[in-house]
Amino acid sequence: MTRQHTAIIEREGDGYVALCPELDIASQGDTIESARENLREALELFFESASSEEIETRLNRNVYITQIEVAVA
């Protein structure tokens, strides 16, 4: 079984931080791809070890990713 989740990846210092906002799980890596793969591994470990109750408690289904226009003086 597979699950689809959001990954937000940001540059931080010399590396990258990857966050899954639905479960509030993060990881990091030296490249975008390594940060993404490390997040995938962290999520897989979470799903392997967490109970269904813990997954349900942590899972936030109301995550919206969008862009917003802001006036800048």
The full set of domains in the chain, from first to last, is 1-73 (3.30.160.250)
- pLDDT per residue as tens digits for the range 37-47: 999 999 999 99
- pLDDT per residue as tens digits for the range 2-37: 889 999 999 999 999 999 999 999 999 999 999 999
Q: Is 36 exposed, middle or buried (0-12, 13-18, 19+ CB in 10 A)?
A: middle
pLDDT tier at 1 (50, 70, 90 boundaries)?
confident
C-beta separation of 24 from 54 below 8 A: no
C-alpha 55: how far from chain center: 14
User: pTM of the predicted model, to two decimals?
Assistant: 0.87
What integer pLDDT is reported at residue 19 of this predicted model? 97
